[in-house]
């Protein structure tokens, strides 16, 4: 085959002197793969990308998967398709009649693999798929490589979509800023683009631009101004992010404490089994999810919303049971209810442990709670966001129940003046039981939400009980709004302390703060005024 | 119930039993051969020694709860602090025999790249200093904490909850390696106490006898305090705090003093506990431990001192038995105990005994403290 001979001759020439290509650029590029040496393969990838050959994506993909083969005798390169059929790498035509046994695989190492990923990214910059182009531009931004500048410029020339164009400009700015080369105006433009982006990567690149050995004074000044501006933006976003984390933690605290605010705050019952009501709510969620998965798989997405009323009913019923059998004998003796309900909590924990085992139970998240999104510089996970929304909804619903329903009215009447309420014909025993059931039911609802972010195990409740009491006491007993403010305030304070002090020390600091605060204001943040307090 | 300035018949029996045990148990363990019917194994001696430390803890809790109405849910913190003081002494006695053979620093400090002993550890190679600290540190904490809490009239449930927060905060703090107290693993691998091997039978017997004597001493002190005029004021505070204040007593001073004394007793219990069990770690600060101590007192009978010690020994003996024989059911039983005792036995076992004997022998009703009513929590308005 004369053609083969020519290619072989050319190849020899190329290897000896690295001479510029004489044949079609694709053939030259492919020839590098037949040398069976890593540096040659590396160069082959570059040239293949530069050649813009239509087969390039297929060849590079095959190389990555170990499907790229060459004939050591003829120096032709082929790639195997998934079906096993061979295609010629230069033309993409089916290469029938080539004996696969005689072919050798083009070898890979990690250097080649990462190179390959970058090269495929460069190809993606030109992809007709907009999402692919955006992703490729993002990758190019995060792994700036001076070699990709040409590909980015080529893509910029063709790009019409404004978002993709902006992403490409940022990628180009990253490359220019980190390369330490290029005209001054180009570098200044890159710094301006990066400043507009204003995230941690941008800061890093701007610093690199300032540190480049040949950076002019103008570039250096612009870079340092840009760096301080980015740092300021970053610290603002960081503060907002902390506030969001704090809000998220605070809503979890509120959710766990809000039921306690009813039983402890409004009824004056120290319910140490409150945490176990949360745990029972979480287990109800788990059981319901399994039931739905077994009997109605089509509804599995809805198992979490169904669990909310179910957990309320289960935990509420258990709460009513506890009130009728234990607590009603102990009204007016708060310290003894504390001990008795602690006993109840031990029994419930062990009962769950005996029934379900001590291991964590998996509760899966429905699709709408998965993933996260960005809001400016904020990263918000959907699950956390829904918990915040859910908590506020529960709080609002509870306020409505207490203020706008006959039951709420009776409950407030009983807590304000039991004997008078009784004289007016309210069955105080029934109201006590229902109020305790309400508090427990809300704890159960909290369990549904917490099953999404915590381990569902028999010890789930234990970790929340102390925090819940702190929130209720800090907010002021008998005051639901106080509980709201205390939970969110403590959550946010905790998250703002964490970066300086670490998670554990922040928690200790919060505990110490509450202990000191109680000394100053023994009745909490929003103390009730009037004679009821001095009882 | 003991009359003023006496221990009463029950207290005398209690003291006699303790002192007899202090003499006889070590004798039985050391002097009789292993197969003899009178022989007590070292395991049993250590186990009962541990119960005695718990009994001293229960006694300290009864002093504040039964006689002053302060339900402290952080008594375990004082116990653990005392234990750490003793543990630090025992750590220093290891000297160069640790895995890293560093004569100055305990193993965990070498591991955590300490270069010199932190100031908190200075002096702990001296036994008297360690004992002093086992009393002084819990005492000082209780003094400061109590003074501020009682001065601002934090009472009842609020006090219980902030004492729980106190022990919880200490739990978290001691878990940190940066505290310099061994972090998660605590202090262990003890070798010597006062030059004797902590694991030898003789040392174990001596520790047992010391625990008996300490419990007896604790009882004498507690009985003397509660039997005095001072004790009568604290009982009055328990039953009607506002009225005592209106009568001109400085309630917060009484409460602070009792609280501090009780914390020191708890610290001593912890200091005796650690050499017997051979380890002290942050788990001792767990709020659940403190609540468990409350149930010992409740089971035995609060406001009886002897009952508290009895309750501690009984409940822990039951725990040892049930966690060995039926581990599944222990928590059911403990939980049931909490519920049943509060519902049906508000005066505990001794209260029940008193009631039964009073019924059998008609005569002047037994002089018992009025059913101690805690301050009724205000049932405030929903906003």
Strand partners, A104: A70
Statement to judge: residues A352 and A209 lie in one domain: no
Q: Does B68 touch chain A (CB under 8 A)?
A: no
Whether B161 sits inside 8 A of A333 (CB atoms) is no
- How far is residue A271's CA from residue A318's CA, in Å, rounded to a whole number? 13
Q: Inform me whether the pLDDT recorded for A52 exceeds 60.
A: yes
Residue of B nearest to A508 (CA): B169
Statement to judge: residues A289 and A375 lie in one domain: yes
DSSP characters over B97-145: GSTT--SSS-HHHHHTT--S--GGGTTTTSHHHHHHHHHHHHHHHHHHH
Statement to judge: residues A37 and A163 lie in one domain: no
Q: Does B246 touch chain A (CB under 8 A)?
A: no
- Phi/psi at A127 (nearest 5 deg)? -60, 145
Statement to judge: residues A385 and A270 lie in one domain: yes
Query: Over the range A506-516, which residues count as b (16 or more CB within 10 Å of their CB) and which as e?
Result: bbbbbbeebbe
- How far is residue A446's CA from residue A438's CA, in Å, rounded to a whole number? 12
pLDDT digits (tens, 9 = 90+) for A290-329: 999 899 888 888 888 899 999 999 999 999 999 999 998 8
Q: Give the orientation angle of helix A200-211 with respect to helix A217-260, to 10 degrees.
A: 160
**Distance from B335 to chain A by nearest Cα, in Å?**
4
Query: SS3 for A378?
Result: strand
User: Looking at residue B4, what is its pLDDT?
Assistant: 44
Evaluated on CA atoms B139, B141, B144, B147, the torsion sign reads negative
Q: Does B333 touch chain A (CB under 8 A)?
A: no
Interface size A-B, in CB pairs within 8 Å, comes to 172
CA torsion, ordered B220, B221, B222, B228, to nearest 10 deg:
100
Q: Inform me whether the pLDDT recorded for A236 exceeds 70.
A: yes
Q: With pLDDT > 70 as the criterion, what percentage of chain A qualifies?
A: 93
Whether B176 sits inside 8 A of A477 (CB atoms) is no
Residue corresponding to tokens 């309210």: A426
Task: Kindly state whether residue A51 falls inside one of the protein's structural domains.
Answer: yes
Identify the CA nearest to B219 among candidates B3, B5, B10, B11. Answer: B11
DSSP characters over A43-55: HHHHHHHHHT-TT
Q: Contact, A257 vs A439, CB < 8 A?
A: no
Whether B331 sits inside 8 A of A347 (CB atoms) is yes
What separation in angstroms does the CA of B267 have from each of A217, B86, B131, B141? 68, 10, 9, 11
What's the pLDDT band for A180 if we cut at 50, 70, 90?
confident
User: Looking at residue B129, what is its pLDDT?
Assistant: 96
Half-sphere exposure of B5 (CA within 13 A, CB side): 1
* Structural domain range at position A145: 125-215
Half-sphere exposure of A470 (CA within 13 A, CB side): 29
Task: Kindly state whether residue A518 falls inside one of the protein's structural domains.
Answer: no
Q: Count up the domains in chain A and report the number.
A: 3
Whether A515 sits inside 8 A of B169 (CB atoms) is yes
Percent helix, strand and coil across chain A, each rounded to 5? Answer: 75, 5, 25
- How far is residue A434's CA from residue A290's CA, in Å, rounded to a whole number? 29
Tokens of A271: 């319910």
Q: Does A421 touch chain B (CB under 8 A)?
A: no
Q: Does A351 touch chain B (CB under 8 A)?
A: yes
- How far is residue B245's CA from residue B293's CA, in Å, rounded to a whole number? 30
Q: Inform me whether the pLDDT recorded for A371 exceeds 90.
A: no
Task: Kindly state whether residue A494 falls inside one of the protein's structural domains.
Answer: no
pLDDT < 50 regions, chain B = 1-4, 363-383
Q: Contact, B84 vs B120, CB < 8 A?
A: no
Q: Select from B332, B341, B374 the Cβ nearest to the Cβ of A335.
A: B374
A153 contacts: CB under 8 Å, gap ≥ 6: A172
Statement to judge: residues A193 and A332 lie in one domain: no
User: Looking at residue A296, what is its pLDDT?
Assistant: 85
What separation in angstroms does the CA of A211 have from each of A187, A205, A219, A262, A268? 12, 10, 10, 61, 65
- How far is residue A67's CA from residue B104's CA, in Å, rounded to a whole number? 64
Give the containing element (helix H, strand E) for B280: strand B279-280
- How far is residue A173's CA from residue A144's CA, in Å, rounded to a whole number? 9
CB atoms within 10 A of CB A142: 10
Whether B339 sits inside 8 A of A343 (CB atoms) is yes
User: Looking at residue B153, what is its pLDDT?
Assistant: 86
Statement to judge: residues A147 and A284 lie in one domain: no
Tokens of A488: 């969110």
A274 contacts: CB under 8 Å, gap ≥ 6: A259, A260, A263, A264, A341, A439, A440, A443, A461, A465, A468
For A381: left if phi > 0, alpha if psi spans -120 to 50, otherwise beta; the answer is: beta
Tokens of A236: 């603002």
Statement to judge: residues A371 and A456 lie in one domain: yes
- How far is residue A306's CA from residue A293's CA, in Å, rounded to a whole number? 13
Q: At which of A464, A484, A515 does a domain end?
A: A464
- Name the A residues in 515-534 with CB < 8 Å from any B CB: 515-516, 518-520, 522, 528, 530, 532-534
**Distance from A331 to chain B by nearest Cα, in Å?**
9
Task: Kindly state whether residue A321 falls inside one of the protein's structural domains.
Answer: yes
Task: Kindly state whether residue A53 falls inside one of the protein's structural domains.
Answer: yes
User: Looking at residue A187, what is its pLDDT?
Assistant: 83
Statement to judge: residues A377 and A456 lie in one domain: yes
Q: How far is CA A51 from the centre of its chain?
A: 40
Q: With pLDDT > 90 as the criterion, what percentage of chain A qualifies?
A: 22
Q: Contact, A363 vs A285, CB < 8 A?
A: yes
Give the containing element (helix H, strand E) for A381: strand A378-381
Task: Kindly state whether residue A367 falls inside one of the protein's structural domains.
Answer: yes
Identify the CA nearest to A312 among candidates A390, A242, A213. Answer: A390
Statement to judge: residues A69 and A129 lie in one domain: no
Q: Select from B295, B332, B383 the Cβ nearest to the Cβ of A347.
A: B332
What's the pLDDT band for A131 if we cut at 50, 70, 90?
confident
Statement to judge: residues A266 and A191 lie in one domain: no
Q: Inform me whether the pLDDT recorded for A406 exceeds 90.
A: yes
Identify the CA nearest to A286 among candidates A384, A366, A391, A364. Answer: A364
Identify the CA nearest to B296 among candidates B98, B8, B116, B57. Answer: B57
Tokens of A138: 């993002």
Tell me the pLDDT of chain A averaged across its residues.
83
Strand partners, A254: none
Q: At which of A464, A499, A519 does a domain end?
A: A464
Statement to judge: residues A346 and A456 lie in one domain: yes
- How far is residue A154's CA from residue A150's CA, in Å, rounded to a whole number? 6
Task: Kindly state whether residue A290 falls inside one of the protein's structural domains.
Answer: yes
Task: Kindly state whether residue A469 falls inside one of the protein's structural domains.
Answer: no
Q: Contact, A223 vs A215, CB < 8 A?
A: yes
Residue of A nearest to B179 (CA): A505
User: Looking at residue A3, what is its pLDDT?
Assistant: 56
Q: Taking the model in full, what pTM does it have? A: 0.77
Q: Does A386 touch chain B (CB under 8 A)?
A: no
Domain boundaries defined on chain B:
14-285
- How far is residue B103's CA from residue A458's CA, in Å, rounded to a whole number? 45
Query: SS3 for B224?
Result: helix
Statement to judge: residues A316 and A174 lie in one domain: no
User: Looking at residue B369, what is its pLDDT?
Assistant: 46
Q: Does B28 touch chain A (CB under 8 A)?
A: no
Identify the CA nearest to A207 among candidates A229, A177, A234, A168. Answer: A177
Q: At which of A420, A439, A464 does a domain end?
A: A464
What separation in angstroms does the CA of A382 have from each of A52, A388, A450, B102, B273? 41, 10, 14, 52, 50
Strands A77-80 and A86-88: antiparallel
Q: Contact, B269 vs B56, CB < 8 A?
A: yes
pLDDT digits (tens, 9 = 90+) for B61-109: 999 999 999 999 999 999 999 999 999 999 999 888 888 888 888 888 8
Q: Does B327 touch chain A (CB under 8 A)?
A: no
Whether B168 sits inside 8 A of A345 (CB atoms) is no
User: Looking at residue B74, what is its pLDDT?
Assistant: 94
User: Looking at residue A45, what is its pLDDT?
Assistant: 82
B90 contacts: CB under 8 Å, gap ≥ 6: B187, B190, B191, B192, B193, B198, B274, B275
Tokens of A367: 């699709």
Query: SS3 for A424?
Result: coil
Identify the CA nearest to A81 among candidates B115, A71, A96, B212. Answer: A96
User: Looking at residue B362, what is its pLDDT?
Assistant: 57
What separation in angstroms does the CA of B78 have from each of A58, B85, B133, B269? 72, 11, 11, 9
Q: Does B381 touch chain A (CB under 8 A)?
A: yes
Q: Does A339 touch chain B (CB under 8 A)?
A: yes
Helices (H), A200-265: 200-211, 217-260
Q: Does B293 touch chain A (CB under 8 A)?
A: no
DSSP characters over B307-345: HHHHHHHHHHHHHHHHHHH-TTTHHHHHHHHHHHHHHH-
Whether A515 sits inside 8 A of B165 (CB atoms) is yes
């Amino acid at each position: 085959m004369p053609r083969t001979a020519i290619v072989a001759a050319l190849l020899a020439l190329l290897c000896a002197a690295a001479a510029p290509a004489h044949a079609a650029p694709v053939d030259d590029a492919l020839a590098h793969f037949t040398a069976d040496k890593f540096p040659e393969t590396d160069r082959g990838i570059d040239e293949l990308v530069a050649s813009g050959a239509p087969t390039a994506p297929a060849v590079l993909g095959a190389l990555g998967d170990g499907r790229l083969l060459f004939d050591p005798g003829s120096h032709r390169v082929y790639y195997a398709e998934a079906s096993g059929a061979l295609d010629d790498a230069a033309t993409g035509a089916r290469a029938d009649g080539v004996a696969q046994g005689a072919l050798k695989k083009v070898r890979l190492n990690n250097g080649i693999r990462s190179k390959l990923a970058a090269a495929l990214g460069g190809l993606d910059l030109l992809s007709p798929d907009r999402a692919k182009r955006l992703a490729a531009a993002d990758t190019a931004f995060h792994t700036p490589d001076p070699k990709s500048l040409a590909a980015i410029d080529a893509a910029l020339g063709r790009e019409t979509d404004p978002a993709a164009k902006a992403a490409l400009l940022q990628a180009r700015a990253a490359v220019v800023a980190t390369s330490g080369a290029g005209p001054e105006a180009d570098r200044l433009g890159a710094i301006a683009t990066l400043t507009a982006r204003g995230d941690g990567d941008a800061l890093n690149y701007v610093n690199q631009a300032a540190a480049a050995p040949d950076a002019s004074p103008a570039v250096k000044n612009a870079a340092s101004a840009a760096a301080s501006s980015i740092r300021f933006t970053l610290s603002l976003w960081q503060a907002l992010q902390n506030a969001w984390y704090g809000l998220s933690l605070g809503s979890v605290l509120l959710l766990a404490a809000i039921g306690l605010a009813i039983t402890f705050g409004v009824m004056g019952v120290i319910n140490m089994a409150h945490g176990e009501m949360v745990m029972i709510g979480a287990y109800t969620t788990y059981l319901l999810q399994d039931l739905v998965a077994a009997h109605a798989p089509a509804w599995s997405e809805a198992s979490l919303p169904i669990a909310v009323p179910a957990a309320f009913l289960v935990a509420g019923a258990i709460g009513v049971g506890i009130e009728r059998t234990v607590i009603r004998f102990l009204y007016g003796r708060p310290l003894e209810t504390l001990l008795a309900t602690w006993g109840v909590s031990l029994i419930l924990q062990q009962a769950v442990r005996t029934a379900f085992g001590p291991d964590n139970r998996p509760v899966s998240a429905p699709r709408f709670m998965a993933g996260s999104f960005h809001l400016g510089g904020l990263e918000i996970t959907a699950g956390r966001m829904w918990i915040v929304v859910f908590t506020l909804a529960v709080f609002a619903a509870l306020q409505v129940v207490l203020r706008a329903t006959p039951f709420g009215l009776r409950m407030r009447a009983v807590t304000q003046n039991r004997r008078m309420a009784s004289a007016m014909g309210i069955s105080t025993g029934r109201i006590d039981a229902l109020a305790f059931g309400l508090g427990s039911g809300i704890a159960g609802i909290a369990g549904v939400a917490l099953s999404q972010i915590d381990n569902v195990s028999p010890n789930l409740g234990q970790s929340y009980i102390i925090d819940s009491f702190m929130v209720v006491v800090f907010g002021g007993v008998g005051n639901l709004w106080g509980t709201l403010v205390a939970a969110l305030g403590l959550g946010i304070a905790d998250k703002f302390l964490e970066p300086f002090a670490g998670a554990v020390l922040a928690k200790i600091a919060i505990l110490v703060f509450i202990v000191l605060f109680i000394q100053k204001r023994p009745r909490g943040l929003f103390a009730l005024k009037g004679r009821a307090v001095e009882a | 119930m003991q009359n003023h300035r006496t221990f009463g018949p029950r207290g005398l029996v209690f003291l006699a039993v303790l002192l007899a045990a202090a003499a006889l148990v070590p004798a039985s363990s050391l002097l009789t051969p292993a197969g003899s019917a009178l022989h007590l194994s070292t395991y049993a001696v250590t186990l009962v020694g541990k119960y005695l430390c718990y009994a001293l803890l229960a006694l300290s809790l009864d002093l504040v709860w039964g006689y002053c109405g302060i339900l402290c849910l952080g008594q375990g913190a004082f116990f653990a602090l005392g234990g750490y003081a003793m543990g630090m002494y025992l750590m220093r006695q290891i000297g160069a025999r640790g895995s890293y053979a560093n004569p100055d620093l305990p193993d965990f400090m070498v591991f955590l790249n300490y270069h010199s002993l932190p100031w908190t550890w200075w002096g702990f190679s001296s036994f008297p200093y360690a004992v002093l600290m086992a009393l002084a540190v819990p005492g000082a904490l209780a003094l400061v904490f109590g003074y501020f809490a009682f001065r601002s009239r934090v009472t009842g449930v609020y006090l219980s909850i902030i004492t729980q927060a106190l022990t919880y905060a200490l739990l978290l703090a001691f878990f940190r390696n940066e505290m310099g107290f061994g972090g998660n693993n605590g202090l262990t691998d003890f070798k010597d106490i006062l030059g004797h091997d902590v694991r030898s039978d003789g040392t174990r017997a001596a520790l047992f006898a010391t625990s008996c004597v300490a419990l007896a001493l604790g009882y004498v002190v507690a009985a003397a305090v509660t039997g005095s005029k001072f004790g009568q004021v604290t009982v009055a505070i328990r039953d009607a705090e506002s009225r005592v204040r209106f009568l001109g007593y400085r309630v917060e001073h009484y409460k602070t003093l009792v609280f501090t004394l009780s914390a020191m007793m708890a610290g001593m219990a912890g200091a005796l506990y650690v050499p017997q069990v051979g380890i002290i770690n942050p788990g001792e600060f767990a709020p659940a431990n403190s609540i468990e101590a409350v149930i010992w007192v409740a089971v035995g009978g609060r406001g009886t001192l002897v009952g508290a010690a009895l309750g501690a020994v009984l409940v822990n003996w039951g725990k040892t038995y049930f966690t060995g024989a039926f581990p599944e059911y222990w928590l059911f039983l403990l939980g049931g105990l909490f519920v049943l005792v509060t519902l049906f036995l508000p005066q505990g076992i001794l209260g029940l005994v008193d009631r039964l004997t009073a019924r059998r022998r008609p005569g002047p009703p037994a002089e018992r403290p009025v059913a101690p009513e805690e301050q009724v929590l205000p049932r405030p308005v929903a906003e």
